[in-house]
């Protein structure tokens, strides 16, 4: 693993080579084999959940798919990273707030996203506001090589947002281009977006990511 820490304007950790090449390829193969489990993402909550132009990608909720988490290479690898990898845990514990809250968490959710067809995107949003179960967000990227898609840039900002757009245009935006086998970690309250993404229509040619929301229960 290779760590890069960004302190300003928002604490962000970038980790390259998060897993071995073998595990990375197995995670991709597993997601491709689960194609039928993916559906269009919804936004909102409760009776307000809906598919909209605000978010147009596909998602699969791996936590609900496997009763035995060791049957999924993705879930087993993420669980092992959080529980048993000392280098990862030490880096998180010494990271700027709120990323360092990871050291005290005991719960995480796991969702896989697939972007690509017809400019799929996710406008500026936050993963949680003052939520116990979502304190820290980790996004892990994986895809075929060479990269089969364009776009899909992750942008994070300190600016408040309204209807998917930053309000304070003076705030610096951090743009991060996804790389295969790379993870990005930031506070779940941080506004961020995924820019329009274009790939061939073949499912395996998309921009895949694991979205982990980490917190307390």
Q: Is 31 helix (H, G, I), strand (E, B) or coil?
A: helix
Instruction: Please list the residues that pair with 203 across neighbouring strands.
Output: none
Q: Does 32 fall in a domain?
A: yes
Instruction: Assess contact for 189 and 148: CB atoms under 8 A.
Output: no
Half-sphere exposure of 7 (CA within 13 A, CB side): 3
**What value does the mean pLDDT take over residues 144-171?**
95
- pLDDT 10s digits, 38-56: 999 987 655 555 667 899 9
In a domain, 47, yes or no: no
Residue 139 belongs to some domain of the structure: yes
| pLDDT of 123 strictly over 70 | yes
**Whole-number percent of the chain with pLDDT over 90:** 91
User: Which CATH number is 76's domain given?
Assistant: 2.60.120.620
pTM assigned to the model: 0.95
Domain that holds residue 127: 2-40+52-215
Query: Within a domain: residue 45?
Result: no
> 58-73, pLDDT tens digit by residue?
999 999 999 999 999 9
- CB–CB of 62/72 below 8 Å? yes
Contacts of 149 (CB under 8 A, 6+ apart): 115, 116, 143, 197, 198, 199, 205, 206, 207
With b for 16 or more beta-carbon neighbours within 10 A and e for fewer, the 146-156 pattern comes to: ebbbebbebeb
Quote the number of domains for the chain: 1
Q: Is residue 155 part of a domain?
A: yes
pLDDT given for residue 42 in this prediction: 85
Structural domain contains residue 152: yes
pLDDT tens readout for residues 125-147: 999 987 999 999 999 999 999 99
Does residue 172 lie within any of the structural domains?
yes
Mean pLDDT of the chain: 94
């Amino acid at each position: 693993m290779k760590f890069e820490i960004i302190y300003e304007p928002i604490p962000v950790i970038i980790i390259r080579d998060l897993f071995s090449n073998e595990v990375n390829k197995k995670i991709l193969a597993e997601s491709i084999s689960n194609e039928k489990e993916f559906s269009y993402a919804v936004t909102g909550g409760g009776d307000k959940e809906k598919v909209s132009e605000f978010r147009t990608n596909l998602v699969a909720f791996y936590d609900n798919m496997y009763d035995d988490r060791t049957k999924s290479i993705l879930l087993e690898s993420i669980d092992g990273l959080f529980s048993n990898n000392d280098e990862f845990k030490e880096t998180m514990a010494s990271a700027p707030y709120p990323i360092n809250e990871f050291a005290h968490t005991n719960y995480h959710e796991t969702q896989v996203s697939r972007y690509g067809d017809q400019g799929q995107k996710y406008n500026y949003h936050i993963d949680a506001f003052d939520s116990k179960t979502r304190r820290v967000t980790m996004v892990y990227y994986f895809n075929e090589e060479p990269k089969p898609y364009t776009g899909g840039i992750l942008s994070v900002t300190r600016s408040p947002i309204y209807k998917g757009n930053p309000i304070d245009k003076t705030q610096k935006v951090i743009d991060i281009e996804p790389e295969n086998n790379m993870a990005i970690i930031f506070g779940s309250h941080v506004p961020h977006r995924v820019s329009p993404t274009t790939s061939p229509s073949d499912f395996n040619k998309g921009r895949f990511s694991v979205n982990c929301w980490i917190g307390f229960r």
